[in-house]
Structure 1
Amino acid sequence: MKIGIITQARATSTRLPAKVLLTAGGRTYLEHHLDHLQATGLPVIVATTTNEADEQIVEIAAKAGVPVFRGSELDVLSRFAGAIREHELEGVVRVTSDCPLIDPEVVVAGVDRFRAEAAENLYVSNCLERTYPRGMDYEVFSGPRLLKADAEATLPADREHVTSYLHQNRTGDMRLVNMPWTESGSQYRLTLDTEDDRLLLATLIEDFGAAELNVHDLVAIMDKHPELHALNEHIEQKKLGE
């Protein structure tokens, strides 16, 4: 089964404009993100927009040897569908580029669970119930099933958020599997959405070598340094449809 990772990226983010193009430790957050994805050993595809503002994203991906699919800014579901068709993916891992420290081993565990059964109606994720820190999120699902969602989904939220047609079980036959973490890290934000998130991630990367660490190491640092958690613990995550 051909399984590939599709990560969505754009420069026109609203809370923190061009966030993935900002830098920490001499590299853009997008470069950190792609480093971690490539460490899974799976094919990686960047799904970005046709906007001129995203030319730098295309350049960074090309430098990393990662192919790019360009499509609609707002209809992200159609963008993913185009990438699936172009690369003939039977299985898909969806991640987002605001996760620069995503742990490759965490992603691979989800892929292994999906491969074990590889049913078209199977959806595997580690964030159906929050146990990992934000910034470690992934979803694994059938390529044909997302193409079906692209053909059938009409709700704007489903077009924007890509997988809600699947995990909200619009078809009534999806089987959802959560991959929980046995440790505790759900209180932490290791994602890039605001300036306070950026400050935390930059501190972790530049002062603690976080770009080389796994989720266990990162949570241990956060546990030991409550002042780091204080940098962004007040941030509220956007909800589906916002």
Structure 2
Amino acid sequence: MFHAIIQARMGSKRLPGKSLKNYKKISPLEILCKRLKKIKKVSKIIVATTKEKKDDKIVKFCKTIKINYFRGSSANVLDRYYGAAKKFKSKEIIRLTADNPFIDKKTLIKMINLKKKFDYIANTYPLPATYPDGSDIEIFNFETLKETHKNARLPSEKEHVTFYMWQSKKFKKKKIDLGKNYSKIRYTIDTLEDYKLFKFIVDSFDKKKIFSISMQDIIKLLSHNKKQTLYQKKLNRTFGWKPAFEKDKIFKRKTNFK
């Protein structure tokens, strides 16, 4: 059975509180959870948050909408995932983030159906990707997570969970391709400008439909409203990784890492 584990916290540096930042009485995290509830092959939804006081709000939210939750490390997200998967006895794990509320149902089901042939499957990693930034899905089994948790050493591998997986030769991996390159389309939520785009997407659809719109619906919307995405010219898909890579450099100097 497939368990969706969603990483979410209130302490984002670029956009604090974004997971539960309500617009029209709905937050990105709630949209994602309600969209996942519509997918029968997802047997359990778990929100993996931190032990920090500010994340009590996320726990309260989970209890309100009757979603499982786990509290773990703030910095070591890999350890948080491992702890959540161990607690809930997850065998197959779908890794998602609250930054990406509009996960595509069709893509997720396709990946679930392909997963049995692989230890790790993704639609955006390793880069380059053909899928939009905001459609990211990764699926891996518990043994792959356990091996990664045991062997990952770099700060970037612990913060970004799957870096070790998709760079290691130990695992049988698959990255699916969209056929057409939509990688320049972005609807992830990482900055205030991204959140404004999130509001534009919500405004563009009927309130009930927001829980079922597809990736193609959003691609079509943004392709016809390019003014809404002009701010993205200064962004790239990996700019959020830079702090972790700087930590890697310090770690390597201190430990003579090879």
Q: What's the TM-score, normalizing by structure 2?
A: 0.86
1:231 CA displacement: 4.2
Two-structure CA RMSD over aligned residues (Å): 1.6
- Counterpart in the other structure of 1:204: 201
Aligned length: 235
| Range that drifts further, 149-158 or 3-12 | 149-158
Amino acid at match of 1:112: N
Tell me if the contact between 1:20 and 1:30 (Cα under 8 Å) persists in the aligned partners: yes
Which stretch shifts more, 231-240 or 32-41? 231-240
The DSSP-based 3-state class of the residue aligned with 1:131 is coil
Q: In structure 2, how many angstroms separate the alpha carbons of the residues matched to 1:166 and 1:224?
A: 37
Distance in 2 (CA, whole Å) between partners of 1:39 and 1:71 is 27
Q: CA deviation at 1:168?
A: 1.1
Match of 1:27, SS state, is coil
Q: Give yes or no for contact 2:7–2:47 (8 Å, CA) kept in 1.
A: yes
Matches of 2:234 and 2:103, distance apart in 1:
21
Question: Alignment partner of 2:4: what SS?
Answer: strand
Shift in Å, 1:185: 2.1
Structure 2 counterpart SS, 1:61: helix
Matched with 2:174 is 177
Residue identity opposite 1:191 in structure 2 = T
Matched position secondary structure for 1:190: coil
Q: 1:124 to 1:167 in 2, by over 3 A?
A: same
Aligned partner of 2:135 in structure 1 is 136
SS at match of 1:124: strand
Gaps of 5+ in 1: none
Which residue of structure 1 aligns with residue 220 of structure 2?
A: 220
Whether the 8 Å contact between 1:124 and 1:176 is mirrored in structure 2 is yes
Q: Is the contact made by 2:47 and 2:67 (CA closer than 8 Å) also made in structure 1?
A: yes
Residues 204, 83 of structure 1: alpha-carbon distance in 2 compared, 3 angstrom cutoff: same
**Alignment of 1:188 onto 2:189:** no
Segments of structure 2 that go 5 or more residues without pairing to the other structure are: 246-258
Query: Are the aligned partners of 1:99 and 1:136 in contact in 2 as well (CA < 8 Å)?
Result: yes
Residue identity matched to 1:215 = M
Amino acid at match of 2:49: T
Q: Deviations over 1:22-78 (max 9, x none)?
A: 122321111112112222221111000011100111111222221001001011111
Query: Is the 2:111–2:121 contact (alpha carbons within 8 Å) kept by the matching residues of 1?
Result: yes
Deviations 1:154-196 (A, max 9, x none): 2111111111111111xx2222211111344211111000011
SS in 2 for 1:6: strand
Structure-2 separation of matches of 1:219 and 1:233: 17
Paired residue secondary structure (1:4): strand
Separation in 2, partners of 1:216, 1:231: 21
Residues 218-242 of structure 1: CA deviation (Å, up to 9, x unaligned): 1011111111222434333323635
Q: Which residue of 2 aligns with 1:123?
A: 120
Partner of 2:241, secondary structure, is coil
Contact 1:190–1:201 (Cα < 8 Å) also in 2: yes
